[in-house]
């Protein structure tokens, strides 16, 4: 018999036009505090939760297939102990093509909350984490709290944030849509462009050991060619083919394959790669700081050189 008072609502709201994606749990498991809705118009993009990279209760990685590759969106809830922030920052997970990271971070900072006068360590860690994914914080179209406390002695705050790949994309804090919730929803339009797709090519870094080896190998093989007795078109073609083969083989031997995206860093150098690999291998906080110091120093040197070059050109 149907209960005239109505049945208790159990689980997440369901709508026929929206696919509700949530981490599967067993009856006695703690319940996740993140879920993602994907409109059925996006089903051709094969939405998937990537648990092979992050198997953590309050972190979801949504993958959408686009132009032959997956782009990824991170949905995060981080409690007052900064559990999710610390998990991601200490595990150094390499997630390709991240275009969005958002959620309730329970983290205040004067950078996004004008009512705060101090910068907690969790805010620094969160900013570094976003930077490691090549994301920048989205600014709201108008300043407003995102969390509205039910306790009179507690201030309203900004703890819901969005970081995205396009640093010019702003979001709306829609206070009118929060209804009985203590959080206002954040609304943002994310462009999904072919720019986010990786392309690879082979390169020979300037002034590198590989470049020196390439020049040496080419010089050695060119010097060994016998070009003194070219008396026919056939001989000339053979010499031309040999020169082409020397450059081709030397290039393939000494060059390396890199992936190019719209967020590739021109200033990145081998020292940055070495420190990144070290901190991923050891998962040590000091190695993470060494990586951050290396990238900051490299960026500073790169842009100082670029500024100097521009200044000389404009004289």
Residue 137 is assigned to a structural domain of this protein? yes
Choose the final residue of a domain: 175, 196, 217.
196
- pLDDT score, position 292: 81
Q: Which residues contact 79 (CB under 8 A, 6 or more apart)?
A: 58, 106
- Tokens read off for 83: 């559990």
- Tokens read off for 259: 């992936």
Range(s) of the domain holding residue 218: 199-313
Residue 88 is assigned to a structural domain of this protein? yes
Distance (Å, whole) CA 293 – CA 303: 16
Do the Cβ atoms of 248 and 242 come closer than 8 Å? Answer: no
Q: 18-22, 279-283, 292-296 — which is least confidently predicted?
A: 279-283
81-100 pLDDT, tens per residue? 999 999 998 886 778 889 99
Distance (Å, whole) CA 15 – CA 34: 17
> Domain containing 132 — which CATH number?
3.60.10.10
Q: Please indicate, yes or no, whether residues 91 and 157 belong to a single structural domain of this protein.
A: yes
For residue 226, the Cα-to-chain-centroid distance in whole angstroms is 52
Residue 305 is assigned to a structural domain of this protein? yes
Q: 106-120, 176-190, 195-209, 300-314 — which is least confidently predicted?
A: 195-209
- pLDDT score, position 306: 78
Residue 208 is assigned to a structural domain of this protein? yes
- 59 to 12, 103, 130, 225, 249: CA distances (angstroms): 17, 10, 14, 61, 46
pLDDT confidence bin for 55, thresholds 50/70/90:
confident
For residue 128, the Cα-to-chain-centroid distance in whole angstroms is 11
Q: Please indicate, yes or no, whether residues 254 and 173 belong to a single structural domain of this protein.
A: no
- pLDDT score, position 1: 47
What's the pTM? 0.63
pLDDT confidence bin for 73, thresholds 50/70/90:
very high
Q: Please indicate, yes or no, whether residues 137 and 44 belong to a single structural domain of this protein.
A: yes
How many Cβ atoms are within 10 Å of 182's Cβ, its own excluded?
11
Q: Please indicate, yes or no, whether residues 120 and 210 belong to a single structural domain of this protein.
A: no
What's the length of the chain?
315
- pLDDT above 70 covers a percentage of the chain that reads 90
Q: Please indicate, yes or no, whether residues 124 and 262 belong to a single structural domain of this protein.
A: no
Q: Please indicate, yes or no, whether residues 119 and 208 belong to a single structural domain of this protein.
A: no
The answer, yes or no, to whether residue 137 has pLDDT greater than 90, is yes
Three-class secondary structure of residue 108 per DSSP: coil
Q: Please indicate, yes or no, whether residues 103 and 252 belong to a single structural domain of this protein.
A: no
Sign of CA dihedral 198, 203, 207, 212: positive
261-272 pLDDT, tens per residue? 545 567 777 888
Q: Please indicate, yes or no, whether residues 215 and 250 belong to a single structural domain of this protein.
A: yes
Q: Specify which residues 163 forms β-bridges with.
A: 101, 137
Packing angle of the helix pair 83-91, 121-132 (nearest 10 deg):
50
Q: Please indicate, yes or no, whether residues 26 and 165 belong to a single structural domain of this protein.
A: yes
């Amino acid at each position: 018999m149907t209960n005239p008072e109505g049945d208790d609502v159990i689980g997440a709201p369901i709508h026929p036009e929206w696919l509700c994606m949530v981490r599967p749990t067993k009856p006695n498991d703690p319940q996740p505090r993140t879920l993602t809705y994907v409109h059925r118009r996006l089903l051709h993009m094969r939405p998937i939760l990537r648990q092979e990279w992050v198997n953590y209760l309050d972190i979801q990685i949504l993958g959408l297939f686009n132009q032959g590759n997956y782009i990824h969106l991170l949905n995060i809830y981080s409690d007052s102990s900064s559990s999710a922030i610390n998990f991601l920052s200490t595990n150094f997970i390499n997630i390709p093509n991240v275009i969005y990271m958002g959620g309730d971070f329970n983290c205040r900072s004067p950078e996004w909350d004008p009512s705060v006068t101090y910068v907690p360590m969790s805010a620094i860690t969160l900013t570094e984490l976003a930077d490691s994914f090549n994301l920048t914080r989205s600014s709201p179209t108008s300043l407003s709290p995102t969390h509205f406390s039910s306790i009179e002695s507690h201030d309203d705050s900004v703890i819901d944030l969005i970081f995205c790949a396009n640093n010019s994309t702003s979001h709306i804090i829609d206070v009118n849509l929060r209804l009985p919730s203590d959080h206002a929803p954040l609304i943002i339009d994310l462009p999904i462009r072919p720019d986010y797709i990786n392309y690879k090519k082979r390169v020979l870094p300037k002034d590198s050991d590989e470049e020196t080896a390439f020049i040496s190998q080419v010089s050695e093989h060119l010097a060994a060619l016998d070009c003194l007795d070219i008396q026919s078109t056939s001989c000339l073609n053979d010499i031309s083919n040999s020169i082409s083969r020397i450059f081709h083989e030397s290039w393939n031997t000494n060059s390396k394959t890199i992936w190019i995206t719209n967020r590739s860093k021109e200033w990145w150098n081998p020292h940055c790669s070495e420190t990144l690999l070290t901190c991923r291998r050891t998962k040590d906080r000091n190695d993470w700081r060494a990586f951050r110091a290396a990238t900051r120093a490299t960026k500073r040197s790169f842009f100082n050189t670029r500024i100097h070059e521009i200044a000389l050109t404009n004289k």
